[in-house]
Amino acid sequence: MDATPLDSLATPAAVVDLDRVEANLRRVADYAREHGLRWRPHTKTHKTAELTALQLQAGASGVTVATPREAEVMATVADDVLLAYPPVGAARLARLMALPRHVRLTVALDSREALEGVSRAAHEAGREVGVLVELDMGMRRVGVQSPEDAVSLARAVSSAHGVRLRGVIFYPGHVRAPRAEQGPVLREQSSRLGTVLDALSAAGLKPEVVSGGSTPTLWRSHEVAGLTEIRPGINVLNDRNSTFVGACEWRECAYSVLATVVSTAVPGQVVIDAGSKALAKEEGLDPAGGYGALLDRPEVLVRGLSEEHGLLDVSTTPWRPRIGERVRVVPNHVCASVNLHERLHVLRGDGGVATWSVAARGW
């Protein structure tokens, strides 16, 4: 927990504003409480045990993870872990079964093969693993394709050893429209989900858990009929994309990469030492383009990225920083940027209060 004030950090450095984190946590906890939804944040965004602990203190009912390492790290502070990822492969299963016995483990899956693997592993390990049947609600990534397939797989779960059917799960990752325009797609989602839930109930397999939600759809999750749980990840830190879709205001962005100006030789451009290996080179949702924007000057975009160079477009501003000056960049996609850093420097104002290890990086 050694802390370093902002001015003395070597750059590039990943920086977290703790006041903003706490405000973001309060806002989502209040929303979930108001609408009777359980809040199970996805920890892949920050990959730290410390921020998971703050989420649990703020009212999260458990955590979501995608990898064995995330499960292992978060199990040091959480006793209810959902692996929202197919539990396929001997190494993955062995590590899941080796989680502490007091941890209530649930997994998502969409195939008989995955079910057979986890059932056998759980049975051999002498533990009960919860299962959520994964539904494809339009993202076309994973998930069973029809209500009939959902019923069939749920029935197989309910009769397999070592596992217990807990419900269904989906991820509306295809919904990237601005918040104000999500009405039609959310109504369509409610309707599709309703069909599946009806089919399961008719088969005597009424789900206890209906887990959905993402950061872009976060504040309209209550419009999806039947939902019991939301799993936003990005929301705790936010980023340029979540601002663009209206899931947060710019002042709610709690993550940025501190960088130093290293060259101003090319006219109309400023080069900083945060490149694709610090910010991640991910196309954003904003049609203005760029890979990020300055926290304190959001009109200045990161127009280009090499591995260790970020190119700021200053053609639209009179601001001309000197070489050696520091800036903070909010990336398009916070999860991808955090994953490039070993540690997060946690600040209140400009003062350091802690350093968190991004301990769940890798697999």
From residue 240 to residue 269, the character string flagging contacts with its own copies as x (rule: CB under 8 A) and all else as - is --------------------xxxxxxxx-x
Q: How far is the CB of 312 from its own copies (least distance, A)?
A: 12
Q: How far is the CB of 154 from its own copies (least distance, A)?
A: 14
Q: CA neighbours within 13 Å on the CB side: how many for 291? A: 22
Touching its own copies, residues 77-96 (CB under 8 A):
85-86, 88-89, 91-92
Distance in angstroms (rounded) separating the CA atoms of residues 127 and 259: 48
The binder of its own copies chosen from 104, 176, 179, 309 (CB under 8 A): 309
Is residue 140 near its own copies by the rule CB under 8 A?
yes
Crossing angle of the two packed helices 90-97 and 112-125, in degrees rounded to 10 = 40
The binder of its own copies chosen from 17, 273, 279, 345 (CB under 8 A): 273
The binder of its own copies chosen from 6, 11, 61, 286 (CB under 8 A): 11
How many residues make contact with its own copies (CB under 8 A)?
A: 64
User: Which residue has 């292992």 as its token pair?
Assistant: 72
Span near its own copies by CB under 8 A; candidates 8-16, 23-31, 219-227, 239-247: 8-16
Distance in angstroms (rounded) separating the CA atoms of residues 145 and 138: 9
Is residue 328 near its own copies by the rule CB under 8 A?
no
Site for its own copies, rule CB under 8 A: 9-12, 44, 66-68, 85-86, 88-89, 91-92, 110-111, 113-114, 117, 134, 136, 140-145, 173, 260-267, 269, 271, 273, 276-278, 280-283, 304, 306-309, 311, 322-324, 335-336, 339-342, 361-363
